Amino acid sequence: MTFTIVFLIAFIASFGLRHWLSQRQIRHVAINRDVVPAEFASQISLAEHQKAADYTIAKLRLGILENGVSAIILIGFTLLGGLQILNLSLLQLLGEGIAQQMALLISIVLISGILDLPFSWYKQFYLEERFGFNRMNGKLFFSDMFKGLGVGGAIGVPLLWVILSLMAQAGDFWWLWAWGVLTVFSLLMQWIFPTFIAPIFNKFQALEEGPLKTQIEALLSRCDFASQGLFVMDGSKRSAHGNAFFAGMGKAKRIVFFDTLIEKLNPGEVEAVLAHELGHYKCNHIRKRLLVSFAISFLTFALLGWISTQPWFYTDLGVMPNLNGYNGGLALALFMLVAPVFSFFLTPLSSLASRKHEYEADGFAADKSSASDLISALVKLYQDNASTLTPDPIYTAFYSSHPPAPLRIANLKRFN
């Protein structure tokens, strides 16, 4: 029962901390709802500022509800015996072996997806609709869902079969082989996703000839950045939010602009936003993030390799393993459910590293493009995306991957 106590302490602490941080953010945003920060007063109206506050609070309240439901589901699967019941049912149906263990994992993913569906629907068709961001209809919503299931199944099921087979046949160091497989797969996905998967969900058209393309190509030349092409994605069919990104590695790199971004920003601002994204590449942020993710996955697989052989890992979490048989899928399922409770406490470290990278990419954009254009672009994006300008400092320190708007813009003004 020792691990049961450790798990419960971590579970209560993580659940309580999530709730406390969300409530802090709600209070802080609400308190500052009626006054636009002085540095934004000339560009953002009080009505827009209040819309951002209301949108932020609405998302947080939905998140609190989701957090509560997720906590109930986790306890239901573990200490209340849900995973045990599901495992025994599938054993009776399919017998022992990899097929049964795969069915167990796929069932958990499907059950979790079904339970999450009402939240996804509510967020898209009530919350996003209420604030004027939703451009999706029900047909597209379900089309995306079934396409996602199809793509996930086509990629995930074979990968899962390989990992479970390694767990069964590769001896004590199966986890090392599994980590190698997953690392190679992750690198392949950098090429596969933009080329084959993304076009299943969105249309990508080459950026039209004209002043914007000329300006972007000049920026790429200044940054010594070679890409496979410049594309515009039809993000407007789902949302009014705008963005720009580049995907892929090596010769498969392609730069993508949401059509909503091009609609809202002038060419100089689009260039500055792209320069920021290029900054992440030129400052080696993407490479660093990949290496960190590989290191973390190595440690995760090593931990799983050890903990999956410990009977207390199963019994203390409400599951009875097959002491003389194969428990690969059961170990993966239990680990997948429980690990986020503990890894949650590392969130501030990844947030801090991400904010540091954002400042560095802003500096690159200011050098290669224009700090003033990036500032005006950011203000428009904060405005159009209803992003709060007054986040709680502690909430920001824990969660935010980007610096708060006032600090980020004050930093950029140093380059003017």
pLDDT in the model for residue 323: 65
277 flagged as catalytic: yes
Cα torsion at 55, 56, 58, 59 (round to 10°)?
110
Specify the pLDDT at position 350.
Answer: 95
Confidence of residue 292 (pLDDT cuts 50, 70, 90): very high
Flag whether pLDDT at 398 surpasses 90. Answer: yes
Tell me the per-residue pLDDT of 167-216, one tens digit each, with 9 for 90 and over.
988 888 999 999 999 999 998 888 888 888 888 998 888 888 888 889 99
Taking each helix axis from N to C end, the angle separating 174-192 and 138-169, rounded to the nearest 10 degrees, works out to: 150
What is the rounded distance in angstroms from the CA atom of residue 341 to the CA atom of residue 77? 14
Strand 204-206 to 230-233 pairing: antiparallel
| Marked catalytic residue, from 362, 373, 384, 392 | 362
Q: Examine the pLDDT at 76 and tell me if it is beyond 80.
A: yes
For residue 70 the two structure tokens come to 């997720």
Query: What average pLDDT does range 273-294 have in this prediction?
Result: 92
Query: What are the tens digits of pLDDT across the range 315-369?
Result: 999 898 876 667 888 999 999 999 999 999 999 999 999 999 999 999 999 999 9
**pLDDT value of position 324:** 64
Indicate the pairing of strand 244-247 with strand 230-233: unpaired
**Under DSSP, is residue 254 helix (H, G, I), strand (E, B) or coil?**
strand
3-28 residue pLDDT tens: 999 999 999 999 999 999 999 999 99
Token pair 């399919």 is found at 94
Q: Please tell me the least confidently modeled range out of 43-57, 91-105, 240-254, 365-379.
A: 240-254
Four-CA torsion 411, 287, 301, 315, nearest 10 degrees: 30
Alpha-carbon gap, residue 331 to 305, rounded angstroms: 9
The whole-angstrom separation of Cα 155 and Cα 157 is: 6
For residues 43 and 254, the model is more confident at 43
Among 18, 115, 42, 98, CA closest to 376: 42
State the burial class of residue 336 (Cβ atoms within 10 Å of its Cβ: 0-12, 13-18, 19+): middle
Show binding-site residues for Zn(2+).
276, 280, 358
Task: List for the chain the helix, strand, coil content (%; round to 5).
Answer: 75, 5, 20
Residue 258 · residue 283 · CB < 8 Å: no
The pLDDT value recorded for residue 317 is 93
Residue 197: closest CA among 238, 254, 270: 254
Of 128, 269, 277, 373, catalytic: 277
Distance separating alpha carbons of residues 414 and 416, to the nearest angstrom: 6
Look up residue 149 and give its two tokens. 């299931």
Q: Which tokens belong to 315?
A: 């019994």
Does the annotation count 373 as an active-site position? no
As a whole number of angstroms, the distance between CA 228 and CA 396 comes to 36
Least confident of 54-58, 160-164, 220-224, 226-230: 226-230
How many angstroms separate the Cα of 190 from the Cα of each of 187, 197, 229? 5, 11, 16
Residue position matching structure tokens 């097959």: 322
The whole-angstrom separation of Cα 103 and Cα 111 is 12
pLDDT band at residue 95 using 50, 70 and 90 as cut-offs: confident
Q: Is the confidence at residue 248, as pLDDT, over 70? A: no
Nearest of 327, 15, 379 to residue 167 by alpha carbon = 327
Residue positions forming the annotated binding site: 276, 280, 358
Q: What per-residue confidence (pLDDT) applies to 190? A: 83
Beta carbons of 90 and 107 less than 8 angstroms apart = yes
Note the pTM of the prediction, 2 decimals. Answer: 0.90
Cα distance between residue 178 and residue 184, in whole Å: 10
Each residue of 117-146: pLDDT tens digit?
999 999 999 999 999 999 999 999 999 999
Average pLDDT, integer, range 26-44: 93
- Pair 35, 52: CB distance under 8 Å: no
Tell me: pLDDT of 249 over 70.
Answer: no
